[in-house]
Structure 1
Amino acid sequence: MKRVLLVLALLVLAAAGWVWYVNYGDHDPGPSAAAGPASVERGAYLARVGNCMACHTDRGGAAWAGGRAIDTPFGIVYSSNLTPDARTGLGSWTADDFWRALHHGRSRDGRLLYPAFPYPNYTEVTRADSDAMHAYLRTVPAVERQNTRHALRWPYSTQAALAVWRALYFRPGVYEPDPEQSAEWNRGAYLVRGLGHCAACHTARNVLGASSEMMDLSGGLIPMQNWYAPSLAAASEAGVAHWSPKDIARLLRDGASAQGTVLGPMAEVVLYSTQYLTDADAVAMGVFLKSLPQIPPSEPGPTPPVDPKVAERGARIYSQHCAQCHGLRGEGVPGAYPPLAGNRAVTLPITANLVQVVMGGGYPPATEGNPRPYGMPPYVMLLNDADVAAVLTHLRTSWGNRAGPVSELDVARQRGGPR
């Protein structure tokens, strides 16, 4: 019995030592690259690819000075000041310090960072790219702005809880190219998995906020936003295996292509980030996304029954408010209003996005390739929950669409705000 207890004690000590090493141990950052004008220019581009300024700039605040509130299921995390201010920003951070934050999720003082900063993805960023981003951030105007203290509930506010989370769900590691794939595929994989951090939205999270499988890209509800990021590996959702890489690149850069249009949070990503991708990088991401293993399509079931009164109400509302743009039979207008017949965004099993678009409107981003996009007005003040449910049920069960109806409860949950 004593021998068993001794073995258990040794195992506990070993596990504790491993947890300490993963979270607090010193990791060699490797050599730093020299910072010159070319490195600064490259760093500016990479910061755009990572969409860093979107989070690190508060609404109405100075660029890169932080302070934006990021709502999470565990409380509010406030983004930090990335300007080169010596007292409140990154002015005293070395390239080693910056790389350690991206690669290992640790601040300059050794404090563990919360994964609202997506270092589980950024850990794959190379040292050279990290150095370029650091060089660029040292050139932005310095702003003296003290970082706002996070408002997280206990025990999520403690470093001990964060250390346990990291031991369970985080492993540092730089992207390793796949020798069996082309250089273009590897470049796309590096951008999607690393700086692009696509999995941060397009992968489901568990009750502790961790992705069950970091890179499966099989879709997930974006916490606190009530938007669903559809699966990039399912033809019935947002899979692009049947698209050409150039068409995928066009969607990433323009926000619209012949096959679809982006709305909601993805519209912001295109507006602030992916529209600035080079042609080569956008196509490389398309090559990688096109190659994702596809989830086999499920067999279509019988058309769900719809209450005749709901069906009549939905058809009437559609005729009054929707048909003039989307057509009497949901055919849409090419280049302006998307078709609703056969539109997989309409038939998604999760209806959160449809409710959001009808109530809050839908606005693609204005980009160089699509400078005057057509939008949809909000109907939140015009239609009640029963109206929204009825018209969405009409869309999902008409013109060959064979999806389930939308209930008043589904709409009420969305109208009530983030959960």
Structure 2
Amino acid sequence: MIETTDTTRARPNAPFGMRAPSVHAGAGPLPQFTYAAGTPDGDLPGADAFWTWRRIMAPLYDIAVHAPAYLADFQGAASWFHFDRMLLVTTDAAPHRLRRSPMTIARTAVDHCLIQRHSGAGWRGRLGTRDWSAGDGDVSVLDLTQPFDLEAEGATAGVVVPRRLLAPLLGTVDALHGVVAPGRSPQGRMLGDHLLSLSEQARQWPRRNAVVATTATVAVIAACLQPAPDHAVANLTERAPSLIAIKRHIEERLTEPDLAPETIARDCGVSRTNLYRLFEPMGGVAQYIRERRLLHCYAEIVSPAHAHRRIGDIAYDWGFPDETVFSRAFRRCFGLSPREARAARRDGGPAPLRGSRRGTADALELDTPDLWLRALGGR
């Protein structure tokens, strides 16, 4: 079952970078998108329920089940609410695996954080190279510009907030990826209760007060995550200014062919040992530089604005002088060649929902979360 109250529509599989329909404050309830399948309230059997769930959550994660046998019994429900400058997302689904890979990061091209309260078994897995978990009652922070590979079970109530809204109050947003505020801590309880209350009131919340709710939520997030709720968060915050400054330095110089750990350490005034330590959770500084360059290459290769340019020229501009080496690195990172990525976007992007015809109402509505998520970046 799919319900949406947002009457604005755009064609499905919109080109990379296309702005979603604007959602203006006004009378009436918040724009909302609700989906339930494989449940008593749903209207799809298990396998179809899973593929629909996968499509709806694709703006946030790539989703899989542990084995094909799990498809028959899959159940999932999700609700998205548009608060003008943030999104509220509630989910409750059977056990599944979710990944945010470099390809997903490049495809969605958003700079947001997901802050959510977990109910039930929770989430566990890997954030980059480190083990991670968030259990019943905990509140977690995931940076949607960073990769992760997790097992999920139970319900969540969370908000997607653009980094630029959090930065003025927190300052150290980069350091918050993977932070968990325990449900037993005062900060965890306060933030968790706020997210639950927000999800309970969202259906009745007046659209004209959406920005007020966003401002209050960002303030509560900042109050509960700074000062840090535990020693692990404190350690992250302590080293964050250096990491943020170094990442900014790297981003500004990604097109320079001589960008290397030695020059970064010299320009930023840190030792190579400390530089390697800071980037160890991301696979190392050289790996971080390569992935950032590849993400920019991916964005330009699939962008209609760069469709006239040779792939080799794009690669060269982003620090890959050898097109063969670049193609191998691109395939390792994204699972397809640069030419295949360009062809897929030219042919209309990701395949439509199985069982749906491109352009049908259901397929159109299933793109709503993706359009909303991208639109946050322009506000």
Larger RCO, structure (CA 8 Å, separation 6 or more): 2
TM-score by length of 1: 0.27
Between Structure 1 and Structure 2, the one with more strand by share is: 2
TM-score by length of 2: 0.29
Between Structure 1 and Structure 2, the one with more helix by share is: 2
